[in-house]
């Protein structure tokens, strides 16, 4: 006996067999594509959690986030976006492989079957929602009324929950078809096996093309091949991309004419740009790693945040910081950093980028640069520091 799925047995015309039969729609193909899709979703979910908790740390982690390796978030978010993009291809392939089952007749055979179909509907909806919203976030297009971050985070749990349920329900079939030539696939004629091999190679090639033409946005050695990502690591003022321009943030030269740095704390003070420039400077090499997947390392010069905080009477290792931008409105106008970043010798109020003063779009006159942090927290056009 063979357990090979021959498609729905009693589908209505025009979905009646043999239209839906064959090895491209059988359980072995579904398993082969499904485990790659599962792996992509698993990496995407874990790296998504990393990104979320770096931006919204729970209270018990608030001052103990890792600041090393400095490229940690770059790697994690590069993987998040790369596996998310790969999941688009894999999800399409998987849906194409199993779609005949959508037309199985009768649509519901039992309560158990109804629940299973419902869980698959939730799984498909959540998975499609996640890759679609993620993709549109990369191109900064938000054609929906809700806020991307909390909804993308919440639906990730729905997707993962329904994937786990799906894997549990399908465990017997998955294990029976895990390896080529497993029980159900032994009897496959040579030309059917070749068909399946071609399909899997094609899907693999498509994933490869999508990955190679986008991953250069974070993986500098491959940047020449970065053809599809919306931001190229080399394109932008001072050779660095810009997500939010000064114009978009409402920061103009006239607003900057009056610029002072206000530092509050036990011993508050105010600095002009000239006095800030005269303070002891540090140079660091750190990446900007954007949540949207692009990432570029650069040389930054400026004053250590630790020194500025100590001047205001903040205790090193204990003081946290609230940073406010001159930006008029926007989700990233105010940023808080825990004591671990404040205390880190690599965390700067940067004044220069690769040896030249910051351009207006990169946050002139002063911006934050800190190790192993999401780009959204590298606040530009800083004008107030509050020692907490
Ligand atoms: N004030 C302010 N700072 C900001 C932002 C912003 O919208 N407002 N965008 C952030 C984002 S999303 C990123 S990725 C980095 C990009 O820095 P860059 O434009 O200098 O490359 O700046 C961050 N700093
Ligand atoms: Mo970003």
* Alpha carbons 304 and 346: distance in angstroms, whole number: 7
Vertex 289, ends 130 and 274: CA angle to 5°?
140
Four-point Cα dihedral 353, 359, 364, 369, nearest 10: -30
Fold of 241-387: Sulfite Oxidase; Chain A, domain 2 (3.90.420)
* Alpha carbons 227 and 48: distance in angstroms, whole number: 24
Residues in the chain: 388
Contacts 24+ apart (CB under 8 A), 90-96: 90/33, 90/36, 90/37, 90/40, 90/203, 90/207, 91/37, 91/127, 91/128, 91/131, 93/33, 93/37, 93/199, 93/203, 93/206, 94/30, 94/33, 94/34, 94/37, 95/124
* Alpha carbons 385 and 321: distance in angstroms, whole number: 7
Strand runs labelled E in 313-366: 321-325, 334-337, 348-353, 356-357
Q: How much is the pTM? A: 0.93
Q: What is the pLDDT along the chain (388 residues), one digit of tens a residue?
A: 344 444 445 555 555 555 567 789 999 999 999 999 999 999 999 999 999 999 999 999 989 999 999 999 999 999 999 999 999 999 999 999 999 888 888 999 999 999 999 999 999 999 999 999 999 999 999 999 999 999 999 999 999 999 999 999 999 999 999 987 765 555 678 888 889 999 999 999 999 999 999 999 999 999 999 999 988 988 999 999 999 999 999 999 888 988 999 999 999 999 999 999 999 999 999 999 999 999 999 999 999 999 999 999 999 899 999 999 999 989 999 999 999 999 999 999 999 999 999 999 999 999 999 999 999 999 999 999 999 9
Is residue 59 within 8 A of residue 12, CB to CB? The reply is no
**What separation in Å is there between the alpha carbon of 142 and the centre of ligand 2?**
15
Neighbours of ion ligand 2 (CB under 5 A): 243, 290, 375-376
Which of 81, 380, 384 for a ligand 1 pocket mutation test, highest count of atoms within 8 Å of Cβ?
380
Sign of the torsion angle spanned by Cα atoms 120, 124, 129, 134: positive
Sign of the torsion angle spanned by Cα atoms 221, 48, 371, 276: positive
Give the residue extent of every domain in the chain.
18-225, 241-387
List the structure tokens of 346: 């690599």
User: Which is the closest atom of ligand 1 to the Cα of 242?
Assistant: 19
List the structure tokens of 55: 């931006």
Question: Among residues 244, 230, 211, 242, which one has the least CA distance to residue 78?
Answer: 211
295 close to ligand 1 (CB < 6 Angstrom):
no
């Amino acid at each position: 006996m063979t357990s090979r799925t021959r498609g729905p047995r009693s589908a209505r015309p025009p979905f009646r067999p043999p239209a839906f039969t064959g090895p491209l729609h059988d359980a072995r193909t579904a398993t082969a594509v499904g485990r790659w899709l599962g792996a992509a979703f698993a990496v995407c979910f874990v790296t998504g959690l990393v990104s979320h908790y770096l931006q919204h740390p729970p209270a018990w982690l608030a001052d103990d986030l890792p600041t090393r390796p400095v490229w940690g978030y770059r790697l994690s978010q590069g993987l998040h976006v790369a596996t998310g993009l790969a999941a688009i291809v894999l999800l399409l392939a998987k849906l194409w492989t199993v779609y005949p089952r959508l037309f199985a007749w009768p649509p519901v055979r039992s309560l158990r079957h109804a629940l299973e179909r419902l869980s698959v509907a939730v799984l498909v909806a959540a998975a499609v929602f996640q890759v679609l919203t993620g993709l549109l976030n990369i191109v900064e297009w938000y054609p929906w009324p809700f806020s991307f971050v909390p909804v993308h985070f919440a639906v990730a749990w729905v997707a993962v929950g329904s994937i786990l349920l799906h894997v549990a329900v399908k465990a017997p079939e998955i294990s029976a078809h895990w390896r080529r030539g497993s029980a159900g696939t032994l009897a496959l004629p040579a030309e059917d096996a070749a068909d399946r091999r071609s399909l899997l190679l094609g899907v693999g090639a498509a994933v490869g093309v999508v990955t190679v033409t986008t991953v250069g946005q974070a993986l500098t050695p491959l940047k020449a091949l970065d053809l599809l990502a919306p931001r190229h690591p080399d394109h932008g003022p001072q050779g660095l991309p810009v997500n939010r321009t000064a114009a978009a943030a409402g920061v103009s030269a006239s607003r900057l004419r009056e610029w002072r740095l206000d530092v509050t704390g036990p011993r508050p003070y105010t600095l002009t740009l000239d006095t800030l420039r005269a303070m002891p400077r540090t140079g660091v090499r750190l990446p900007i790693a954007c949540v949207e997947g692009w990432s570029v390392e650069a040389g930054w010069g400026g004053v250590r945040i630790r020194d500025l905080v100590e001047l205001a009477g903040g205790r090193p290792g204990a003081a946290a910081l609230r940073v406010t931008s001159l930006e008029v409105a926007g989700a990233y106008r105010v940023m808080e950093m825990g004591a671990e970043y404040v205390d880190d010798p690599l965390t700067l109020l940067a004044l220069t980028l690769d040896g030249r003063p910051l351009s207006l779009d990169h946050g002139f006159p002063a911006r934050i640069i800190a190790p192993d942090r999401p780009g959204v927290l590298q606040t530009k056009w800083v004008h107030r520091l509050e020692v907490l």
